[in-house]
Amino acid sequence: MKIRLLQKLLLIAVCIGFMGCVNVSPWERGNLAKSSMEIDPNPLQSEFQSHNYSSREAAPSHSSSSSGGGCGCY
């Protein structure tokens, strides 16, 4: 009984895994390469926001170990 259930779960997992495998046509690759599809489409803006937030909070940011001084200086 348990072996049948395990086989069914394994088959379902394999089927779900194969659903992610798709051939992308060359003319569709441009849509997938757009900057809006990235995890962080504006990395420079995100870094500035992080720096300003950490210096206002007078706490260390994720990218530096020094605490902020309130002025936004590096």
The reported pLDDT for the residue numbered 40 is 83
Distance CA 58, CA 56 (A): 5
Name the DSSP class of 37. G
Question: pLDDT tens for residues 20-52?
Answer: 777 888 888 887 788 777 788 788 888 888 877
Q: What is the pTM of this model?
A: 0.35
Distance CA 53, CA 58 (A): 9
Contact 72, 51 (CB under 8 A): yes
pLDDT above 70 for 64: no
